[in-house]
């Protein structure tokens, strides 16, 4: 954990709220290992990838404020009227993409069996005893904590909790898909949120996207809610300060701090609710366990779940790595920058051996990706994802690449009429870069392609017969 300079708690003021707007991506991007079949029940995603630099997205609104006497401008955004049916089977766990050490497993920062907070509204839990010696972290918490909620989900004899971030004055909240489905155990959940000032409010699931592990819920009859600003996550640097706020182990309002440890990290999450990805070639050395470590889930009653198997598909996510302590229950909570702006949605942690808690390796879905998906869910009920139209494998797993001198994603099959075929890519090509981001394996490529919306244009660099080439690609749509 890095030491942050001391600074007085800044005075915050409310601002006008705007409904989330999808971050604009002027730079085309794409990447992938894509299934041609439509995903069914939700389950967790993960993958190492970098969110391509995107034009700063418009903010979800003004920073949250702790001044309960200040009235916020009421958002003119209409409350979503669509409630998507939830599909069971959204399981989350994952393995660190590219990890070679045995026993390194990604635990989805999943739901934890915790008592719901149902007391009467009380004072905000931000304690500042000595404002003159308050740190930068203190100022971040004072600014953003009122917009962080604890989400309690129950149904079908299952129950658990996670975290969420209010993104608009009318009560729209971003969280993880595995939080609202209890890792796929609940198809018709009862959802409540506990606010920072102790209110217990009912909420409705607007929709969720299993490919990105992002969900949106709406607090019923909400108005003038505090909410966070969304930062441009493509502008992050390794070493930037981070602050995580959420409800690990049900402990609402927990604050931890650290730095951005890595960007463009790819992780893979097991998802038994999704069909096998026909564009991801299995590891020939382990045909019964395609690209997945064994894993446990934090699910109902906080008990461990199953292990990865051939029947489970995987989804790849491009994430921010941080050393800020993240634990089960932090899922869906905020990763913030030093200005109290949202830079990511906490989603998973790495775990080694028998250690199930934080070991200083946590992951968050970049804010640009999360806000793009959230906006599409609010506007249409679903989110889109890019499709390359090619089956890929790690170079080291492709017998045809035994003499390859570079790492990357080896194309082993091309779909006729797909994006890859239209761009002139061929079987045997090794993809080494996607929109300027390095590609070292199939997980990297998959995560990058999925992070882009359907129809986006991007540039792919590849090696063919030992020669480097670059081509423009217009992505298809993952169904």
User: Which residue in 44, 213, 394, 397 is the catalytic one?
Assistant: 213
CA–CA separation, 184 and 195 (whole Å): 25
Residue 279 to residues 68, 429, 445: CA-CA distances in angstroms?
A: 52, 15, 11
Torsion on CA atoms 49, 105, 270, 116, rounded to nearest 10: -100
Cβ contact 457:474 at 8 Å: yes
Strands 430-434 and 386-387: unpaired
Structure tokens at 21: 């707007």
Strands 254-271 and 313-322: antiparallel
CA–CA separation, 273 and 91 (whole Å): 7
Helix (H) or strand (E) holding 179: helix 177-180
Cβ contact 409:448 at 8 Å: no
Nearest Cα to Cα of residue 54 among 375, 468, 430, 362:
375
Which residues on adjacent β-strands are paired with residue 335? 244, 344
DSSP 63: P
Structure tokens at 399: 């017998």
Close Cβ partners of 430 (under 8 Å, ≥ 6 residues apart): 395, 401, 404, 406, 408, 409, 410, 411, 462, 463, 464
Instruction: Please say if 283 is a catalytic residue.
Output: no
User: Which residue in 178, 241, 371, 444 is the catalytic one?
Assistant: 178
Instruction: Please say if 213 is a catalytic residue.
Output: yes
Instruction: Please say if 188 is a catalytic residue.
Output: no
Cβ contact 463:407 at 8 Å: no
Q: Is 249 strand, coil or helix?
A: helix
Three-point CA angle 383, 52, 419, nearest 5°: 65
For tokens 């969280």, the residue is 175
Residue 230 to residues 21, 60, 367: CA-CA distances in angstroms?
A: 10, 6, 7
User: Which residue in 331, 351, 358, 371 is the catalytic one?
Assistant: 331
Active centre residues (catalytic): 178, 213, 331
């Amino acid at each position: 954990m890095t030491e942050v300079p001391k600074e007085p708690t800044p005075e915050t003021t409310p601002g006008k709220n705007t409904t989330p707007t999808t971050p604009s991506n002027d730079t085309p991007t794409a990447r992938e290992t894509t299934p041609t079949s439509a995903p069914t029940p939700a389950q967790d995603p993960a993958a190492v990838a970098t969110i391509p630099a995107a034009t700063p997205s418009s903010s979800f609104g003004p920073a949250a404020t702790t001044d309960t006497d200040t009235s916020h401008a009421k958002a003119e955004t209409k409350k979503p009227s669509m409630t998507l049916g939830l599909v069971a089977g959204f399981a989350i766990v994952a393995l660190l993409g590219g990890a070679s050490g045995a026993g390194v497993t990604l635990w989805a920062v999943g739901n934890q069996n915790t008592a719901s907070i149902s007391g009467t509204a009380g004072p905000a839990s931000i304690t500042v005893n000595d404002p003159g010696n308050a740190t930068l972290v203190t100022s971040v918490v004072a600014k953003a904590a009122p917009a962080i909620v604890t989400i309690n989900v129950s149904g079908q004899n299952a129950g658990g909790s996670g975290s969420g971030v209010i993104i608009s004055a009318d009560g729209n909240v971003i969280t993880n898909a595995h939080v609202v489905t209890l890792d796929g155990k609940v198809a018709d959940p009862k959802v409540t949120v506990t606010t920072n000032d102790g209110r217990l409010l009912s909420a409705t699931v607007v929709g969720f996207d299993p490919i990105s592990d992002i969900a949106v819920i709406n607090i019923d009859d909400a108005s003038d809610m505090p909410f966070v600003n969304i930062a441009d996550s493509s502008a992050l640097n390794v070493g930037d300060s981070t602050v995580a706020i959420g409800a690990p182990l049900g402990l609402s309002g927990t604050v931890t701090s650290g730095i951005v440890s890595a960007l463009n990290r790819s992780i893979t999450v097991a998802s038994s609710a999704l069909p096998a990805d026909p564009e991801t070639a299995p590891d020939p050395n382990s045909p019964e366990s395609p690209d997945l470590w064994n894993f446990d889930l934090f699910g109902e009653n906080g008990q461990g779940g199953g292990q990865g198997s051939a029947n489970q598909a995987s989804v790849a996510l491009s994430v921010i790595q941080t050393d800020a302590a993240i634990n089960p229950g932090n899922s869906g909570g905020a990763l913030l920058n030093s200005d109290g702006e949202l830079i990511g949605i906490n989603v998973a942690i790495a775990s080694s051996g028998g250690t199930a808690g934080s070991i200083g390796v946590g992951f968050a879905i970049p804010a640009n990706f999360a806000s793009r998906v959230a906006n599409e869910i609010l506007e249409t009920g679903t989110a889109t994802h890019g499709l390359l139209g090619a089956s890929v494998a790690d170079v080291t797993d492709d017998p045809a690449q035994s003499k390859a001198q570079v790492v990357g994603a080896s194309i082993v099959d091309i779909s006729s009429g797909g994006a890859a075929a239209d761009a002139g890519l061929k079987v045997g090509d090794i993809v080494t870069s996607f929109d300027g981001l390095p590609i070292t394996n199939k997980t990297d490529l998959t995560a990058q392609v999925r992070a882009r919306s359907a129809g986006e244009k991007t540039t792919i660099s590849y090696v063919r017969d030992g020669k480097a080439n670059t081509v423009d690609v217009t992505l298809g749509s993952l169904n």
